[in-house]
Amino acid sequence: MSPPESSSEPAESSQSGFLSGIEFLTGEDPNLGSFLLTIGGVTCVFIALFQFTLPSPVSHLLTAGVIIITVVSAGFAALLDSLGYFDGPVEESQAEPASTTQRKPWVPTEPVTAPLPPLLNFDAEFRAFNDYYDGDFPQQFEPLFADYRRLKTNTDNRSTIASDLRADLNPIGTILDQDSPVYDNYERISEGLFRYIGNAAGHLTVEGPAFYDSTDTERDVTDLNDELARAEVTIENEGEPIALDLVIEFYDAETLLSSRSCPVGTVAAGARKTVETDVFVPAAADDAVPVITPADQ
């Protein structure tokens, strides 16, 4: 029944406008008891003034007028109270409940331009610190958090910011005891920054090569001498995305016998990529070593 509901809106709006228009009489946040007390006090003052300063016929008439006004005012107060004007909720004075979820100081308010590589992603470590300090971090953490937020929102100069982070970490090491339950988190942050700032080769982990014969059975390189085989190398990148080349070198003791080159392509941050290539295993080969180099070198 939408028409009756819509017709009540102007009446409610008119009532609200009337009530807000009499605030100059009652003041903000009105109270019925205070209003009646004020009427009673004013009435007593005027009655006393008329009775003690004016002759009897005039004083009686004015006193009667004051009493009539008092009765009307009391009736007006009762009407306002029936409309819910007194002791109503005051929206402006109601404070918003405080958010129970406080922003973590290592989380930037700006959009994150690109995810951090695993070597630089210290969110888990900072959560451990947050639990340890119950959210009340020592002031030594402030520069570290500020640079970590910069790290998350910048991709062009992350090496420079990582160096700043490494410097920010030094004061924290002075306030942490080695027996502290969060000291391992401090060491993981330090190791990750050290590896990231160093050579890009330190960002990579290489597994293999593993060799497979024509029946797809894994064999040792010494069992495949002078044969064609399939080589498999797995590369894990904990740094920034990088394009790589792979070279598999075959040795007899310390003597290089031959090598096989294979392009890897780009390995994304935090990704594992397996590269397969056919190789000819030279006679007398007793070892094979994978060599990974950036593609632009």
More confident residue, 157 or 279: 279
Lowest mean pLDDT among 81-95, 136-150, 244-258, 263-277: 81-95
What would the CATH number be for the domain defined by 202-294?
2.70.50.40
Contact (Cβ atoms closer than 8 angstroms) between residue 242 and residue 205: no
The yes-or-no verdict on residue 195 having pLDDT over 50 is yes
Tally Cβ neighbours within 10 Å of residue 268. Answer: 13
The pLDDT assigned to 4 comes to 45
Tell me the one-letter amino acid at 287.
Answer: D
pLDDT of 3 reads 46
Tens digits of residue pLDDT in 41-69? 777 877 777 677 777 777 777 777 778 88
Q: Report the share of the chain in percent with pLDDT over 70.
A: 79
Contact assessment for residue 168 and residue 143, using Cβ atoms and an 8 Å cutoff: yes
The DSSP bridge partners found for residue 250 are: 258, 288
Q: How confident is the model at residue 5 (pLDDT cuts 50, 70, 90)?
A: very low
Q: How far is CA 228 from CA 88, 198, 214, 223, 258, in A?
A: 90, 38, 8, 11, 14
Residues in contact with 55: Cβ distance below 8 Å, sequence separation at least 6, in sequence order: none
Q: Which two tokens stand for residue 246?
A: 């792979």
**Residue 88 reports pLDDT greater than 60:** no
Band (pLDDT 50/70/90 cuts) for residue 148 is very high
Question: What pLDDT shows up at residue 94?
Answer: 46
Residue 85: partners with Cβ closer than 8 Å, 6 or more residues away = 19, 26, 30
Whole-prediction pTM:
0.57
Q: Determine the average pLDDT of the residues in 194-199.
A: 88
- Reduced to 3 states (helix: H, G, I; strand: E, B; else coil), residue 5 is helix
- In this structure, of 11-20, 142-151, 152-161, the range with the lowest mean pLDDT score is 11-20
Mean pLDDT, residues 217-235: 93
Q: What does the pLDDT read at residue 2?
A: 44
Of the two residues 34 and 17, the one the predictor is more confident about is 34
